[in-house]
Structure 1
Amino acid sequence: MLKKLISHPISRLLLLSATALSITGCSQKITSVNDTVRLAVQGTADVHKSAYDIAQLPYASTYVRINNQSQLFMVLALAESASGETITHAASKASAPHVSPPQLKWLASDNGMLVTQSGRIIKTVNLSEGNLLATHSNSADPLALGLHLATTPKQWQRSVDWQPGYHSGYQLDSVFVFDHAEVLTINGKSVPVLRFNENVSVKQLNQHYSNTFWVEQRTGKVIKSLQYIAPSLPSVEMTILKPFS
């Protein structure tokens, strides 16, 4: 439900507050808060951007739908390494494969934030229904390795912390199962994808739920996802329109 996000008009969702992180030097060249104000769209109905408009924006962008509410349009504010260093472009990882994938930060007007890594939501901040505080794992996320590859493990284990309540160190066991191949139409283009379901078990709570990831057939990059922020928090659907590059 995340009422704090949903109740705001799109124009307020896209507006970065005056306290937003400085991103001077980022390849997306967001030089001031006013840059994102120009992207505002009034109203709470589903937002749809034309392929031309998306291509013209100097930002990575995504559609976001929270708990089946109105579709939102968000832009990427900042890309950082796990150590907090600003990353200027996604290709920077290519020369250093041992480096963790960038953490992409999508900000709302009230400082609400979604943080994704390899297409997975790994942290949220300032959401009214609660927040995923941290995600920990001793092994690489199969999403980062590429689910399209036969060599990628299809089982994974991580622990998460979230609020409200004292939920710390809960173990999540995941099994990725290939569903089927299909073609998505995104930003006016046909994208061949492989659909995988991530079946998640939370033994400490005796709970089970499922996330879904659509990965590009050739690169394995997550193009679309439907995932739960945490076991007791809402689902978020994300569709990448213009990837971070």
Structure 2
Amino acid sequence: MDFIRLRSLRSSFALITLTVFVSLTSGCSQNFKDVNDTMSLAFLGEDDATLSAADINQLPYASLYARVEDGPQAFMVLALAENKTYIGNSTHTMTGSAPVPPLLKWLSSDKGMLVTQAGRLVKTLNLPQGNVVDIQSNFTDPLVLGLHKPNTPKNWQYTLDWQPGYHFGYKALSQFKDEGKQVIMVNEQPVDVLYFVETISVAQLNQSYKNEYWLSPVNGQVIKTRQKPAPSLPYIELTILKPFA
């Protein structure tokens, strides 16, 4: 996937080629009335994207850094936030008193897409290495319930669909482990976080792998994560620079 790549921005943005596509529907905003904004920033270069905190805060869009395996770091902005649930028993359909978090869709210049919900990668589109198609479960994702809460279940089970190949309905077992407190750098600032490791086992393939999450100790939101969306797909690292609000 050719993510949007940016070299370091200078304060005036004078050396950046900037293309903005903004599509608005009624009541659109980053404050969640059904956001439908699409923004694409393009700048040629192969270095890691590194923006200053001032540059990031100046943009009126939620944003993140993304890295696929050991590839270059890319800067992405929120393209779409959907306040909707999916039909059927899905991670997208939350039950009980847990709120339904929005589906956040992050777009690249070549129309690749990452979809996150409560910090989990739930769907990808147009990745050359393959894509996770859907995640379904009868139980609420612990990330939605808040891993920072002591009574949140640390085990979860779900089914997983991904491509290429006919990989549909694979059962996965998830177990979270609290690895304590850490300090990470985000937007040039040290941030106190809770570090959790999720071990996922897919018995049909006799495979297991680990995902990592760095959470806010205040509200449990994912600040940084490194996830393998499906067994045969590459790891994707996300760092939230400006969260959706």
TM-score band, normalised by shorter chain = 0.7 to 0.9
Between the aligned partners of 2:233 and 2:36, the Cα distance in structure 1 is 34
Between the aligned partners of 1:115 and 1:57, the Cα distance in structure 2 is 21
Q: For 2:55, what is the secondary structure of its paired residue?
A: helix
Between the aligned partners of 1:83 and 1:175, the Cα distance in structure 2 is 25
Structure-to-structure mapping, 1:97-176, within 5 angstroms: 98-176=98-176
Residue 10 of structure 1 and its aligned partner are, at CA, apart by 4.7
> Against the structure 1 CA distance between its residues 15 and 112, is the aligned structure 2 distance closer, same or farther, given a 3 Å change threshold?
farther
Q: Is the 8 A contact 1:215 1:223 kept in 2?
A: yes
Structure-to-structure mapping, 1:43-62, within 5 angstroms: 43-62=45-64
Residue 126 of structure 1 and its aligned partner are, at CA, apart by 1.2
**TM-score, normalised by the number of residues in structure 1:** 0.83
Between the aligned partners of 1:153 and 1:232, the Cα distance in structure 2 is 27
Structure-to-structure mapping, 1:1-245, within 5 angstroms: 4-5=1-2, 9-10=5-6, 22-24=23-25, 25-28=27-30, 36-37=39-40, 39-83=41-85, 98-245=98-245
Between the aligned partners of 1:83 and 1:217, the Cα distance in structure 2 is 27
Amino acid at match of 2:239: T
Per-residue CA deviation, residues 60-97 of structure 1 (Å, 9 max, x unaligned), is 0000010111000000011002348xxxxxxxxxxx95
Per-residue CA deviation, residues 87-118 of structure 1 (Å, 9 max, x unaligned), is xxxxxxxxx95541110000112221000000
Amino acid at match of 2:168: S
Residue 31 of structure 1 and its aligned partner are, at CA, apart by 8.4
Q: For 2:144, what is the secondary structure of its paired residue?
A: helix
Q: Is the 8 A contact 1:194 1:216 kept in 2?
A: yes
Residue 15 of structure 1 and its aligned partner are, at CA, apart by 6.2
Between the aligned partners of 1:15 and 1:181, the Cα distance in structure 2 is 40
Amino acid at match of 2:2: L
Q: Is the 8 A contact 2:105 2:113 kept in 1?
A: yes
Amino acid at match of 1:210: K
Q: For 2:49, what is the secondary structure of its paired residue?
A: coil
> Against the structure 1 CA distance between its residues 184 and 9, is the aligned structure 2 distance closer, same or farther, given a 3 Å change threshold?
closer
Percent identity over the alignment is 50
Residue 32 of structure 1 and its aligned partner are, at CA, apart by 7.5
Q: Is the 8 A contact 2:199 2:208 kept in 1?
A: yes
Unaligned 5+ segments in structure 2 are 8-17, 87-95
Q: Is the 8 A contact 2:5 2:73 kept in 1?
A: no
**TM-score, normalised by the number of residues in structure 2:** 0.83
Amino acid at match of 1:211: N
Residue 156 of structure 1 and its aligned partner are, at CA, apart by 0.4
- Determine which structure has the larger helix proportion and give its number: 1
Between the aligned partners of 1:162 and 1:40, the Cα distance in structure 2 is 29
Partner of 1:88: none
**Count of residues in Structure 1 that have an aligned counterpart in Structure 2:** 222
Q: For 1:5, what is the secondary structure of its paired residue?
A: coil
Q: For 2:2, what is the secondary structure of its paired residue?
A: helix
Residue 218 of structure 1 and its aligned partner are, at CA, apart by 1.3
Q: For 1:73, what is the secondary structure of its paired residue?
A: strand
Amino acid at match of 1:227: Q
